[in-house]
Amino acid sequence: MHSAVRQGIVDTVKKAVSDPLVKCVVICGQNGVFCGGADIREFGAPMTGPPLVPMIHAIEATNKPVVAAIEGAALGGGLELALGCHYRIIHSKARVGLPEVTLGLLPAAGGSQRLPRLIGVPAALELITTGRHVSAAEALKLGIVDQVTDDNTVDTTVKFALSVVGRSLESRRISTFPCPPVSDLDAVFDVAMQRVRQSARGAIAPVTCVQAVRAAATLPYTQGMKREQELMATLFTSGQARALQYCFFAQRAVSRWSMPSGARWDTSKPRPISKAAVIGLGTMGRGIAVALAQAGLSVVAVETQEKQLMDAKQAVSGMLERGAKRRGVAPALGLVSYSHNIQAVAEADLVIEAVFEDMDLKKKVFQQLSAVCKPGTLLCTNTSSLDVDHLASQTPSPELVVGMHFFAPAHVMKLLEVVYGPRSSPQAVATAMQLGKKMGKVSVAVGNCRGFVGNRMLKPYMEQAFFLLEEGATPELVDQALEEFGFAMGVFRMSDLSGLDVGWRVRKADGLVDPDATSGRSARIRQGRRYSPLGDLLCEQGRFGQKAGRGWYQYDKPGSRVAKPDPWLHNFLEQYRARHGLGVRHIDHQEVLERCLYALINEGFRILEDGIAAGPEDIDAIYVFGYGWPRYRGGPMFYAGMVGLANVLERLEHFHQVHPDVPYLQPCSLLRRLVASGSPPIQKWREVIRKVHSQL
List residues with catalytic annotation: 80, 100
Q: Which is nearer to ligand ADP, 547 or 577 (CB)?
A: 547
Name which of 254 and 352 has its Cβ closer to ligand ADP: 352
Strands 442-447 and 415-420: parallel
End-to-end CA distance of the chain: 46
Q: How far apart are CA 132 and CA 138, in angstroms?
A: 12
Residues 6+ apart with CB under 8 A from 315: 286
Which uninterrupted H or E stretch holds 679? none
What is each CA distance from 490 to 194, 533, 696, in whole angstroms? 21, 20, 38
Any idea what DSSP says for residue 581?
T
**Which residues make beta-bridge pairs with 89?**
69, 147
Q: How far is the CB of 434 from ligand ADP (least distance, A)?
A: 24
Task: Please name the helix (run of DSSP H) or strand (run of DSSP E) that holds residue 302, with its range, or none.
Answer: strand 298-302
Helix/strand/coil for 611 = coil
Candidates 1, 253, 278, 279; binder of ligand ADP (CB under 6 A) is: 279
Give the DSSP letter of residue 5.
Answer: H
Of 585, 576, 606, 586, which Cα lies nearest the Cα of 460?
606
d(CA 226, CA 439): 44
In the complex, the smallest distance separating the C-beta of residue 148 from ligand ADP, rounded to whole angstroms, is 45
| Distance separating alpha carbons of residues 124 and 213, to the nearest angstrom | 8
Q: Please identify, using beta-carbon distances, which residue of 138 and 358 lies nearer to ligand ADP.
A: 358
For 417, phi then psi, to 5°, come to: -90, 120
Closer of 255 and 304 to ligand ADP (Cβ): 304
| DSSP label at residue 587 | -
Out of 278, 365, 457, 473, which residue is the one contacting ligand ADP (CB under 6 A)? 365
Of the listed pieces 219-227, 275-283, 524-532, 605-613, which binds ligand ADP according to CB under 6 A? 275-283
List all residues 6 or more positions away from 572 whose beta carbon is below 8 Å from its beta carbon: 537
Size of the site for ligand ADP (CB under 6 A): 17
Question: x/- contact string, 234-273, with ligand ADP (CB under 6 A)?
Answer: ----------------------------------------
Cβ neighbours of residue 571 closer than 8 Å, sequence gap 6 or more: none
Question: How near is the Cβ of 304 to ligand ADP at its closest, in Å?
Answer: 4
502 versus 523: smaller Cβ distance to ligand ADP = 502
d(CA 197, CA 191): 10
Question: With respect to ligand ADP, which residue has the nearer C-beta, 210 or 419?
Answer: 419
Kindly tell me which of 205 and 439 has the beta carbon lying closer to ligand ADP: 439
Could you give the string, one character per residue 327-356, with x where binding to ligand ADP holds by CB under 6 A and - elsewhere? Answer: ---------------------------xxx
**Closest CB to ligand ADP among 142 and 302?**
302
Residue closer to ligand ADP by CB (options 173, 507) is 507
SS3 category, 16: helix
Please write down the HEC assignment for all residues of 103-143. HCCCCCCCHHHHHHHHHCHHHHHHHHHHCCCEEHHHHHHHC
- Smallest separation (angstroms) from ligand ADP to the CB of 370: 14
Binding to ligand ADP in span 280-309, by CB under 6 A: 280-285, 302-305, 308
Given the complex with ligand ADP, which of 410 and 433 has the nearer CB atom?
410
Task: Return the closest-CA partner of residue 22 out of 67, 65, 70.
Answer: 65
* Nearest residue to ligand ADP on Cβ basis: 282
Provide the 3-class DSSP secondary structure of residue 27. strand
Q: Toward ligand ADP, which CB reaches closer, 211 or 368?
A: 368
CB 250 within 8 A of CB 629: no
- Output the 3-class SS for 624-665: HHHCCCCHHHCCHHHHHHHHCHHHHHHHHHHHHHHCCCCHHH
Helix (H) or strand (E) holding 502: helix 500-509
- 506 CB-contact burial (10 Å; exposed 0-12 / middle 13-18 / buried 19+): middle
Minimum CB separation from ligand ADP for residue 353, in Å?
8
The residue type of 516 is D
Query: For the chain, how many helices (H) and strands (E)?
Result: 28, 17
What is the DSSP secondary structure assignment for residue 550, as one 8-state letter? B
Cβ neighbours for 274, distance < 8 A, ≥ 6 positions apart:
297, 298, 349
Q: How far is the CB of 497 from ligand ADP (least distance, A)?
A: 13
Own/partner contacts of 236-239, CB < 8 Å, gap of 24 or more, are 236/105, 238/104, 238/204, 239/642
Yes or no: say if 335 and 371 are a contact pair by the CB < 8 Å rule. Answer: no
| Residue number with CB closer to ligand ADP (287 or 533) | 287
Binding residues for ligand ADP, rule: CB under 6 A, are: 279-285, 302-305, 308, 354-356, 361, 365
